[in-house]
Structure 1
Amino acid sequence: MKALLLAAGLGTRLRPITNTIPKCLVEINKKPLLEYWLQNLSEIGVNEFLINTHYLSDKVQEFVENSNFKNNITLVHEKELLNTGGTLLANKEFFIKEEEFFLIHADNLCFCDFEVFVDTHKKNKDICEITMMLFETGTPKSCGIVELDSKNIVQKFHEKVENPPSNLANGAVYICNNTILDYLESLNKKEIDFSLDVIPNYLGKINTFLNDVYHRDIGTVESYKQAVKDIKNFDLFKNNI
């Protein structure tokens, strides 16, 4: 199985931390966010990773060259950011032979049973082309919030609205069938926003997996500081630190 780890963002909300280091390499407990993803996914059999770069790309390249996973990583540089769907489309040949693959925003700190996540997708992949990781958020106004049916399939999606209907949030971690590549191509554009251009088209065809262990977007200084505090809980993270 393959994975796209999105790592090209500017990390403007994380400044000054990201003045000299890209967001994907911000360290939690002395380990970069990318390292957590590479380790956790490798343990369940993901053996090929595509990582896109843009901001401070030389830092990411240096990290990869010194990584234990370097032989399993392909780097692709974006001169101009393409957004989530655009990056996936631009690299469709990397995934075209995979029945399903991970699509992940690598600026998240995430722990869960990834094998169950994969199984959840496989059990419903003939009906749902995407499985979205969910988490319960304390700040629903700042997240993409979902409404589900009795089978936990996404029926409505609200992207950062003033009065969100729940606290079930999109974790920006997906498993996708390769059939979505054809849809991305049908849009006839390079920059494709997954939340705005893709998810609305797949309502009723997006399965979900609730991560009830730990998920946090390391998008702000406050969120970063909270993650540093959280990870000191050895019982929760003992297998990942």
Structure 2
Amino acid sequence: MKALLLAAGLGTRLRPVTDKIPKCLVPINGKPLLEYWLDSLSKSGVTQFLINTSYLHEQVEEFISNSKYKNIVTLVYEKTLLNTGGTLLENRDFFDDEAFFLVHADNLSFCDFKGFINTHKNRPNNTHITMMLFHTDNPSSCGIVELDEQGVVQKFHEKVENPPSNLANGAVYICEPDIFKYLKSLNKKNIDFSNDVLPNYLGKINTFLNDAYHRDIGTIESYAIAQIESAEFVKS
């Protein structure tokens, strides 16, 4: 299995931490955020990674070139950001005709990734994506989902004041390769996954609940909290 790790964002909400370091390399208990993803997914069966870069890309390139993962990582530099779907489509040739991980690497996740893969393999008929879910402590700041009895997404509530639950989209997916046909049909280069893609797949998105740990390292507050909360996982 292959994976796209999205790592090109500016990390503006995390300033001043990200003034001199890209968000994907901020240290969590002394270890770069991106390295957690490379470690977890490679142990779960991912054999090749594509990582997009832009802001302070030289640091990401240096990190990868000095890492044990350098031979299984392909880096692509985006002078102009293409957004999630646009990056996928632009790099279609990297992916085989099989399912792949799509990961927003500015999150920190610990979970049973092999179980995630198995959930996708055993997904309900006519579903094409499996989305990681988590229970958020701040529902109004997240994309909240409503599911049917099979765990298939029926409705999204994107950052609304009073969402119906705290079950949120973790922005980590396993996608079937037929998604490229839909991306191409949009006839544009810059494609927002949340707005341009996911609404089209309502009723076709399976889910996997991460009941171990997941946090968006998006603000100074969440970054500080992650340092404390993740300590037990780092030790283990």
Shorter-chain TM-score range: over 0.9
* Post-superposition offset of 1:29: 0.9
Q: Percent identity?
A: 69
The aligned residue for residue 58 of structure 2 is 58
Structure 2 residue runs of 5 or longer lacking an equivalent are: none
Q: Secondary structure at the match of 1:3?
A: strand
* Post-superposition offset of 1:122: 0.6
Is the contact between residue 125 and residue 177 of structure 1 (CA under 8 Å) also seen in structure 2? no
Q: Distance in 2 between matches of 1:164 and 1:179?
A: 31
Residue by residue over 1:164-211, the C-alpha shift from the partner in whole angstroms, topping out at 9 and shown as x without a partner, is: 111110000000000001100000011111111111000000000000
Structure 1 residue runs of 5 or longer lacking an equivalent are: none
Q: Secondary structure at the match of 1:124?
A: coil
Matches within 5 A, 1:50-199: 50-95=50-95, 97-124=96-123, 126-199=125-198
Q: Distance in 2 between matches of 1:37 and 1:174?
A: 13
Is the contact between residue 124 and residue 150 of structure 2 (CA under 8 Å) also seen in structure 1? no
Q: Distance in 2 between matches of 1:163 and 1:76?
A: 39
Q: Secondary structure at the match of 2:122?
A: helix
| One-letter amino acid of the counterpart of residue 99, structure 1 | E
Q: Distance in 2 between matches of 1:70 and 1:165?
A: 44
Q: Distance in 1 between matches of 2:24 and 2:97?
A: 25
Give the TM-score normalised by structure 1.
Answer: 0.96
Q: Distance in 2 between matches of 1:84 and 1:36?
A: 20
Q: 1:161 to 1:136 in 2, by over 3 A?
A: same
| One-letter amino acid of the counterpart of residue 38, structure 2 | L
* Post-superposition offset of 1:99: 1.1
| One-letter amino acid of the counterpart of residue 155, structure 1 | Q
| One-letter amino acid of the counterpart of residue 3, structure 2 | A
Q: How many residues align?
A: 236
The aligned residue for residue 238 of structure 1 is 235
Q: Secondary structure at the match of 2:133?
A: strand
Q: Secondary structure at the match of 2:149?
A: coil
Pair 1:209 & 2:213 matched: no
Is the contact between residue 159 and residue 195 of structure 1 (CA under 8 Å) also seen in structure 2? no
The aligned residue for residue 225 of structure 2 is 226
Q: Secondary structure at the match of 1:117?
A: helix
| One-letter amino acid of the counterpart of residue 37, structure 2 | W
The aligned residue for residue 32 of structure 2 is 32
Give the TM-score normalised by structure 2.
Answer: 0.98
| One-letter amino acid of the counterpart of residue 113, structure 2 | F
The aligned residue for residue 11 of structure 2 is 11
| One-letter amino acid of the counterpart of residue 82, structure 2 | L
Q: Distance in 2 between matches of 1:88 and 1:126?
A: 24
| One-letter amino acid of the counterpart of residue 151, structure 2 | N
Is the contact between residue 2 and residue 98 of structure 1 (CA under 8 Å) also seen in structure 2? no
Is the contact between residue 143 and residue 159 of structure 2 (CA under 8 Å) also seen in structure 1? yes
Q: Distance in 2 between matches of 1:126 and 1:51?
A: 31
* Post-superposition offset of 1:125: 6.6
* Post-superposition offset of 1:108: 0.6
| One-letter amino acid of the counterpart of residue 195, structure 2 | L
* Post-superposition offset of 1:238: 3.2
* Post-superposition offset of 1:163: 2.0
| One-letter amino acid of the counterpart of residue 39, structure 2 | Q
Q: Distance in 2 between matches of 1:33 and 1:201?
A: 31
Runs of 4+ aligned structure 1 residues displaced above 4 Å come to none
